[in-house]
Chain A
Amino acid sequence: MSHTPFIVAAYLIGAVVLFWAAMAPVLSKRSFLRQLKNRQTRMEKSQ
């Protein structure tokens, strides 16, 4: 049995998990700041 597909799968899954774990807070921060800005501009408009 060739070992290569297992090695590839292991590193691929590892990379995906680590990448996702690294990106999740970055994306979350961007959407949070966007929400905050939208709320602020809405508040400024209504005043």
Chain B
Amino acid sequence: MSRQSTGTAFVALLRRDFLLAYRRRAELLQPLVFLLVVVTLFPLGVGPSPSLLANIAPGVIWIAALLATVLSLDSLFRSDFEDGTLEQMVLSGQSLALIALARTVAHWLVAGLPIVLLSPLLAMWMNLPDEGLLILIESLAIGTPVLSLIGAIGGALTVSLKRGGQLLSLLVFPLYVPLLILATSAVSSAAVDLPYTGQLGLMLAGLIASLTLAPFATAAALKLSLS
């Protein structure tokens, strides 16, 4: 069988992932509904005081985004692992890091991007000041891909485990800490007209670093899980 070019393989993988995602679109809505519900719980839990909500808004929205992402990560490689497709991918001779990257990109487009799109709604619920909204969207746009990239490593490590989902969240949450700190700081600063570009810049650097490094770690983890 002739080796396809890397680009063709990448596109083929993306198309397959979108097709599969479309077929289970109800399942994909679950983490997003979870996101909405979690954010709703906060005013119910801490009281609807506008100033309090505005204060905690960046943190609450970002933590809810973390939780929702982790929910969607568990199934990232699982079904392909279970039916043997993952093994075939490893044997295919295409770069495993590329396959991991394709899967991660698909995951972000299907799970992370909707979070970015839902954020104005969440910002409204949490009474985030208008000055913070644009930066919230930007921080999520830069940050959610990082969540997918790092989360894919955890997903690959736990894919062969029966109760992998819980362990996955424990593994990736410490790794998410810097991102959480930078993102919430950016949004909080923007909301009170303080400088925020430094934080966004660091997040961008983190995105580039994850983009170049994480797929290799994910590939190593996949090979490990399949061994």
A–B in direct contact per CB < 8 Å:
no
Residues of B whose CB lies within 8 Å of any CB of A are: none
